[in-house]
Structure 1
Amino acid sequence: MSDSKSLRSQLLSLLKEKSYLKKKVILSSGKESDFYVDVKQTSLHPEGIYLIGQLLYEKLQSGEKVKAIGGLTMGADPLSVATSLVSVLQKNPIASFYIRKEPKKHGTEQWVEGSANLAKEMKVAIVEDVVTTGASTLQAIERTQAAGYVVKRVLAIVDREEGGKETLQKAGFTLESLFTKSDFI
């Protein structure tokens, strides 16, 4: 496990360098905050996405097994793809998918992209870059379930510790995060 600790430490350093901003911002929840963690800056960095994929894959190896991982576009896109790539390298394939913010207006008119690689009733994990209130995570869960998949796990890179974990718990889900606000402050 020391390798996981090393990877986690490397990722935290990179998140602090590339993604952490100490300034007043308005979050997607509408709340004002004195810090921001823009995980996309790290997930679009070559080392960052490698570390994220490794750590999310490792997290999925303990606990209930899933066959796919995905979440709301755009924050979850690189996270789910990186995890899927690592899973293939480990000879334990986990598919990836993403959930549109609104359904496609043409063609299949679907919410979930990647559905050709998923089976109905498949056990899946939802992944988020950052969880604040949990509202967008619940939206991802609801759309995934409506598409016929069974959400068994909910993962995040960062839990801002602002009620999201509790919101998800009330809905019957356990938030598993790689980091919390406390790791940055």
Structure 2
Amino acid sequence: MDFEKRRAELIALIRKLSYREGDFTLASGQKSSFYIDLKATTLHPLGAKLIGELAVELLKREGTVIDAVGGLTLGADPLATAISLGAFDRGISWPALIVRKEPKGHGTSRFVEGMENVGAGAHVLVLEDVTTTGGSAVKAAERLREAGLLATTALTVVDREQGGAKALLESGVKLLRLATIAEIRTA
């Protein structure tokens, strides 16, 4: 795989489908003159395929050991599936997990769905579609740890480079990224 060529394809697709300029309020509460609605890319077949391939290759290059993937619903859900399938295409089994913002009000009342597919102490790659402050990924890592899993690495598709990597590191999580906001804005 030509990693940089495929990454450039993903960046161009994000720019086309997900990048918008205007007046926006981000999930962090911050105001911004641009916004990335990454679901338009993560739910697109080519976007999902590229994210899955690139994430698996990046983790391989970094030597990151994981057993499963997941993050805070809703943004991380298509990422978890894309990366799980990208790994499966390479003969690797990384089940996808969904981390709820609040426990389900009925049935199991769990924060983490998919626990049947992983063992206690499993290494979970925390996923976030766009990282600004890192708050969603930190919350997901906390929920995963409360469920008896290990969360020491996170992957974001787009790092807005506004302190998220630092906040994650302070909570014991290293951030990997597929693209930066500067790359998206200049694509």
- TM-score normalised to structure 2 length: 0.95
Counterpart residue number, 1:55: 54
The 10-residue stretch of structure 1 (50-59 or 141-150) with the greater mean CA deviation from structure 2 = 50-59
| CA-CA distance at 1:172 after TM superposition | 2.2
Distance in 1, matches of 2:63 and 2:95, equals: 18
Letter in 1 for 2:112: V
Counterpart residue number, 1:131: 131
Distance in 2, matches of 1:84 and 1:46, equals: 14
Question: C-alpha deviations, 1:39-67, integer Å up to 9, x for none?
Answer: 10001111111101111111222322101
1:91 aligns with 2:91: yes
Letter in 1 for 2:38: V
RMSD: 1.0
**Structure 2, unpaired ranges of 5+:** none
Distance in 2, matches of 1:137 and 1:147, equals: 15
Counterpart residue number, 1:102: 102
1:78 aligns with 2:87: no
- TM-score normalised to structure 1 length: 0.96
Counterpart residue number, 1:150: 150
Counterpart residue number, 2:13: 14
| CA-CA distance at 1:75 after TM superposition | 0.6
What secondary structure does 1:148 align onto?
A: coil
Count of matched residue pairs? 184
Distance in 1, matches of 2:178 and 2:25, equals: 23
What secondary structure does 1:166 align onto?
A: helix
Distance in 2, matches of 1:20 and 1:32, equals: 15
**Structure 1, unpaired ranges of 5+:** none
Counterpart residue number, 1:30: 29
Counterpart residue number, 2:178: 178
* Seq. identity, %: 42
What secondary structure does 1:28 align onto?
A: coil
What secondary structure does 2:120 align onto?
A: coil
